[in-house]
A and B are shown apart, each in its own frame.
Chain A
């Protein structure tokens, strides 16, 4: 069978020309504006440009010219990766036919179908894709504010915050205390806080072995809990104390000026305090008016289209879609479904049933990797889990090492898929 892929795409466009008014008139190409250049946004922009073969005008708005991935940033904290290895530019996205604008989107007019940028530029769209990640809920942790993040970092959007947290851990006094205020559900990267605890413990074990780690958690259970608990006991015995809601982990107040955490009314002085607050969709989603009272943006499970507007799609962490965790893998998977749906609408290309998947790898200690994953399909109500797997406790060292190596391969693979 000798079939040229280009010919298939060409056929798709020819069909599309009959369906898309913009193309028939020959005036302008249909325009897609994407806000947010992470795992959801950069992927959808690249796939739209690549698969439409020039039939769409695709613009990506991203504030940072160099993107730092939050996924794998815990490995930087643990000393397993250089900070620069988390950073990716947009040259290959541009080379793939996407117009990349490094600016901040500040307004969306859904009636006029325009996006306004901080620099004053106004962009018209036929379809808008919002993939702005997360923002933090005010008042989620009493005493903490975004300004206080310079003292008590969240390090949950990768960048200077991640570097600040690492510097603080490195300068902890011997025998000092690292505290984490863990987030309530739902939040970005469910195993992320606990992988971070593992990485901090690994680093302290080398440099500050009498240090203590205190996790204050509003949840009574968390992702991969049995695997983390097993790993902490095995590698960092006695170093990590986890305080769940039953013992005050859900009613924590912080005092950045005195470096105190108040648990169950009792103040405790700590040396580093990593506050990961409650989360909501990136602000532009609320500005666009596609979020609900939960703070997230409900979407149709079969397309990732916002329930509030048929011309707007929402991807990744910002979306409220059902069972998928908020992760880079999920955002990347959703982006491919959205790209297919948008191409179908604007160029008449074929639309196939949505399929989604996710896998999250976590590193517990050197060469001790674990993973959890699932496949998903749309139902009328939500994106629903179809099948899942998780690493088992007690796995042998060879499998854990292979899982870690696989995670490195995944990082290389997904960043190539996202950024080209």
Chain B
């Protein structure tokens, strides 16, 4: 996988730069309703009568801990994110809808993601309308999107130094096993390079909740993340 392939993943961070037109104007929830019908409703229900289907009920989603709907069997990866503290907020939902596997690597949600930030804003406005007590969500939250994207396209275009990456990767293997075992700690073996880069930046930005990973990724420079990605790409 070439680094050029990473560019679509940029959307995660580029989206952070898109401010809604007005402070409380998340997006067009009627358009969101249409999007939900077309792209989500085959698996998810929302509303007072909603039941779990292929996917969990989405009523009352805002402020809910990930993987916390009773009687729904989540992927191990989503369950782990939930116990690590991932909570559905405007920011985390935006990242998840945009590229589900960037936020939750092993999610079972078979959805490739929604690249258009305005469409996401519309969908999320619709989802928020069905949260139990949207009035309890701090009003500052809809504007909590970062307005200064700390990643520009050039950063994801960095050509990593795989030899440096080989050294840096030795820090990963203290916990993550190279044979792909994933009991208690997820496997990172054969992880697609672009997912890796986006996930590291998601930890660095503290979108993903785990404290060890936030610390590890937090001190990696953009060059170092690129170096790790380049190294992992050389592994068979």
Contacts and interface: CB of A to CB of B under 8 A. Distances in A.
A399 B233 contact: no
Contact of B212 (A340, A373, A399, A405): A373
A386 B219 contact: yes
Given A1-B1, A373-B215, A407-B184, A355 B171 contact: yes
B100 interface: no
B235 A387 contact: no
B162 A329 contact: no
A74 to B, nearest CB: 18
Interface string B171-196: 10111111101111100000000000
A412 B183 contact: yes
A398 interface: yes
Interface in B122-162: 162
- Interface-central residue, A332, A401, A417, by most chain B CB under 10 Å: A417
B184 A405 contact: yes
A82 interface: no
A226 interface: no
Interface stretch (B15-23, B24-32, B77-85, B197-205): B77-85
A27 interface: no
B84 A3 contact: no
Given A1-B2, A355-B168, A375-B219, A408 B183 contact: yes
Contacts of A336: 167, 170-171
Interface residues of A, number: 41
B183 A405 contact: yes
Interface in A351-372: 352, 355, 357, 359, 371
A4 interface: yes
Given A1-B2, A359-B212, A352 B219 contact: no
A310 interface: no
Interface in A1-30: 1, 3-5, 8, 12
Interface string B224-236: 0000001101110
Contact of B174 (A332, A399, A401): A332
B114 interface: no
A357 B178 contact: no
Contacts of A47: 170
Contacts of B164: 350, 352
A329 B216 CA distance: 14
A246 interface: no
Interface string B80-108: 10111100000000000000000000000
B211 interface: yes
- Interface-central residue, A12, A352, A405, by most chain B CB under 10 Å: A352
Nearest to A396: B83
Interface in B1-46: 1-3
Contact of B173 (A340, A386, A388, A413): A413
Given A407-B184, A409-B183, A340 B167 contact: yes
B219 A387 contact: yes
A408 B216 CA distance: 19
B185 A410 contact: yes
B142 to A, nearest CB: 27
- Interface-central residue, A332, A401, A406, by most chain B CB under 10 Å: A406
A120 B231 CA distance: 44
Nearest to B80: A402
A413 B211 contact: no
Contact of B84 (A5, A399, A410): A399
Contact of B85 (A329, A399, A417): A399
A8 B234 contact: yes
5 contacts: A5-B162, A336-B167, A355-B171, A399-B85, A413-B176
Q: Which 9 A-B pairs have the closest CB atoms?
A: A409-B184, A409-B185, A402-B83, A405-B184, A389-B211, A336-B170, A398-B83, A413-B175, A3-B234
Given A336-B171, A359-B212, A374-B215, 13 more contacts: A3-B234, A51-B166, A350-B163, A352-B164, A387-B215, A399-B83, A405-B183, A406-B184, A406-B185, A409-B182, A413-B174, A413-B176, A413-B185
Interface of B: 1-3, 80, 82-85, 162-164, 166-168, 170-171, 173-179, 181-185, 211-212, 214-216, 218-219, 230-231, 233-235
